[in-house]
Homo-oligomer: A and B are copies of this chain.
Amino acid sequence: MKTKLTVTLGLGLVAAAAWAGPVEDQIRSRQSAYGFLGWNTAKIKAQAVDHPETFDKDQVIAAANAVAAVANSGLLGLYGPGTDQGTGWKPTRLKSEYFEKPADVKEIDDSFIKEANELQKIAASGDVGAIKEQFGKVSKTCKSCHDLVRIRE
């Protein structure tokens, strides 16, 4: 029983290591995820909010799929111990308070996933007004997290 537990934990560590990697890798992976997210949210903002006359349904669907994929990718797995210090593509802006507020962070992450999944559904409808409204809800979850745990530039 003890051996089995040890083996299971051992495999868990292998999986966790593969999943997240060293501190610098975790930071770079999350900066990449947010960079990819930002490119895709910019497309939705441009085409459904700022310049609806340029709306391209297929591009917005692809961008909303990307936003949902990022939201559901297990981002919190990239916030391991010590990742409030270090450099990925650039020095992290994560506040140390992140580790003191797991419930708040989880709540925001859950909202981000929920609203991003809803945006993915609504994008498929091609209704620009509805997309704009739902995009606003997704953006609010981004801002909540930035306000809570990201150092201002």
Residues of A within 8 A of B (CB): 11-12, 14-15, 18-19, 21, 28-29, 31-36, 38-40, 42-43, 45-47, 50-51, 53-54, 56, 59, 62-63, 65-66, 68-70, 72-74, 78, 89-90
A38 to B28, CA, bound (A): 11
CB of B74 within 8 A of CB of A59, answer: yes
Q: How many copies does the complex hold?
A: 2
Contacts of A29 in B (CB 8 A): 35-36, 38-39
A33 to B35, CA, bound (A): 7
CB of B69 within 8 A of CB of A65, answer: yes
A62 to B74, CA, bound (A): 8
A72 to B47, CA, bound (A): 17
Contacts of A19 in B (CB 8 A): 43, 46, 59
A28 to B36, CA, bound (A): 9
CB of B74 within 8 A of CB of A70, answer: no
Contact of A32 among B12, B15, B39 (CB under 8 A): B39
Kindly provide the distance from the CB of A140 to the nearest chain B CB, expressed in whole angstroms: 21
A46 to B13, CA, bound (A): 12
